Amino acid sequence: MLKIDEIIIAREKMKNIVHTTPLDYSKTFSQLSKNEVYLKLENMQKTGSFKVRGSYNKLMSLTKDELKKGVVAASAGNHAQGVAYSSQILQIPCTIVMPKGAPLSKIQATKQYGAEVILAGNSFDDALSYALELRDQIDATFIHAFDDDAIITGQGVVGLEVLDQLPDVEAIVCPVGGGGLIAGIATAIKEKNPHISIYGIQTAACPSMKQSLLEEKPITVEALPTMADGIAVKKPGQRTFEIVQQYVDDIVTVDEMEIARTMLLLLERNKLLVEGSGACSLASLLYGKLNLTGKKVVAILSGGNVDMNFISRIIEHGMVESGRYARFTITLKDKPGQLQNVLNSITDLDANIQAVNLNRIGKDILPGYTQLDISVETKNHEHIEQLFKVLKEKNEHVTM
């Protein structure tokens, strides 16, 4: 098993290479969760996530001959950027295989770190298969995303930083995908102080580590679509599983609604852009998934690499789920003053109109009528119900 001394050595190796990320106390989230909550801001790490820690430590463990031949990895996101950045620092050849559907922003970011990017297959599994073939063809070293001792050791530096920043921490809550991050943190924490609790958080769409612990061996689960794609790993690693089984106190799940609301809260209250996988840890505290009250808790915000095209959808989804945004479709008689009456009804109830669209032609629109699609910013779900009730009383047909 890994030892704390190895993590301490890894920390020395990456000095001046990676950031010691802030640990930020949040009064808002402390009040909402009834705990003393601190946020470990790995979304502010170089390359936008914790992945660079493990990648750099792994590359530093290679021989001169291995470094000269270069490295290859498969990833659609944070691991790709971590390996590419580390390779750039060490000035070695780096090839990243991504699936063809990978976001353009992540492809460009990886290229900017100097890596050669190859698009292969339509899924991560396809990209992984090609990367392993390529490794054999070019005699490069394959850099696994999580199931590697050097990778796990590098991620464990996060745990050492937390102990320095908050020596009396009582619990740490960490997102879990393949298990590299929590395995490293758990090793560092439990070997220093076994009384500190370690909790893992997975998306309910892909609870592979949770199910593996129940089966007492790594198993493959079916994954549903999730905004926490960074931790949507169908099967955890063997090494990470063994460490989690030994050190982690419990693993719970959060759903898509809880993730979306938490991402929105982080943006709105703390001005932090955090990806879905990174928000899972805080979501577990806000939605009472763990039996924690009055504790000093650190939530690991593991990354902040959100596709720009996805941010607006996340914001809208989170606002809808929290009752901050609603859309109504209203059928009106096509007469002067009808639209103004609707607008007055909405503004009288202190809702903020964001968009209005009138349609006079459509298969469900009769002659002499018009269909109004209207988007409004609201206060909460009760406010939406009040709006809906008033609009139904004054108009012939209203739907949400």
Structure tokens at 63: 């021989």
Q: What are phi and psi of 273, to 5 degrees?
A: -90, 115
- Catalytic positions, written as ranges: 51, 302
Q: Which of 118, 65, 120 is nearest to 94 (CA)?
A: 118
For the chain, how are helix, strand and coil distributed in percent, rounded to 5?
50, 20, 35
Q: What are phi and psi of 237, to 5 degrees?
A: -75, 160
Q: Which of 223, 213, 222 is nearest to 243 (CA)?
A: 213
For the chain, how many helices (H) and strands (E)?
17, 14
3-state secondary structure of 26: coil
Question: Sheet holding 250-254: strands in order across?
Answer: 23-25, 36-41, 296-301, 171-175, 197-203, 250-254
CB-side neighbour CA atoms (13 Å) of 46: 20
**72 contact partners, CB below 8 Å, separation of at least 6:** 94, 95, 96, 97, 131, 134, 135, 138, 140, 141, 142, 143
